[in-house]
Amino acid sequence: MAVRSSTSRCRWTHPRRPASNAAAAAHQVILTFSKPMMALDGTPDATEVNLSFGTVGTVTISGTQMTVGLSGVPDGKCLTISALGGAHGPGGERIGR
């Protein structure tokens, strides 16, 4: 059985940061799972994640956490992040796909 993991996070322009720079800023989101994770293809990268807006940067997996680098996410938008192509450890339950 495949398990789909996604989360939503709304961002707004920080009052001390000019709006013109806000959308270009790089951000990170950390997804935490109940069990240790691994990339199905053995290499954590942008193929493990799908975004509703913006660009996926570096993806790392360490234990139960998947860290996703983001850029180009517009301010004031709700971002949907879908974790794909992962599994709960070797031979474990698949995430997404």
Using one digit for the tens of pLDDT, what is the confidence trace for 16-28?
Answer: 454 444 445 588 8
Q: How many domains does the chain have?
A: 1
- The residue segments making up the domain with residue 57 are 25-95
Tokens 């180009």 correspond to 72
Q: Is 49 part of any domain?
A: yes
Q: 35 falls in which pLDDT band (50, 70, 90)?
A: confident
Q: What whole-number distance in Å separates Cα of residue 48 and Cα of residue 34?
A: 17
Q: Is 10 part of any domain?
A: no
Distances (CA, A) of 56 to 16, 89, 91: 25, 23, 26
Q: What are phi and psi of 73, to 5 degrees?
A: -85, 120
Q: What whole-number distance in Å separates Cα of residue 27 and Cα of residue 97?
A: 25
Q: pLDDT at position 21, please?
A: 47
